[in-house]
Amino acid sequence: MWKSGLKNYALQSLRLALTKALMEPEEKNFVDQLRAKLEVEWTAIREARRRAEQAREKVSKSLTEMNFVSGTLVWLYSVL
């Protein structure tokens, strides 16, 4: 029993380490340059991006209000 628990733990740790290792640092300079271009020249694109960011924040806030945490069902326990 403990062996299978240990194996699962080791697998999870390995998976987490692999996921982290695969994440390259963001191409911040490129994105910043691109955003600057998009936001200065193309106003409808700029406005759509602004609205999308606002809407995602609203979705995020709604989930937080539900006490919904990604990966768990915390909100259910608070309701029950």
Judged by CB under 8 A, the chain residues 10 through 69 that form the site for other proteins are 15-16, 18-24, 26-27, 30-31, 34, 37-38, 41-45, 47-49, 51-53, 55-56, 58-60, 62-66, 68-69
Q: Which helix (H) or strand (E) holds 5?
A: helix 2-22
Helix, strand and coil content of the chain, in percent to the nearest 5, comes to 80, 0, 20
Place of tokens 């309701």: 79
Residues that bind other proteins in the complex, under the rule CB under 8 A: 15-16, 18-24, 26-27, 30-31, 34, 37-38, 41-45, 47-49, 51-53, 55-56, 58-60, 62-66, 68-71, 73, 75-76
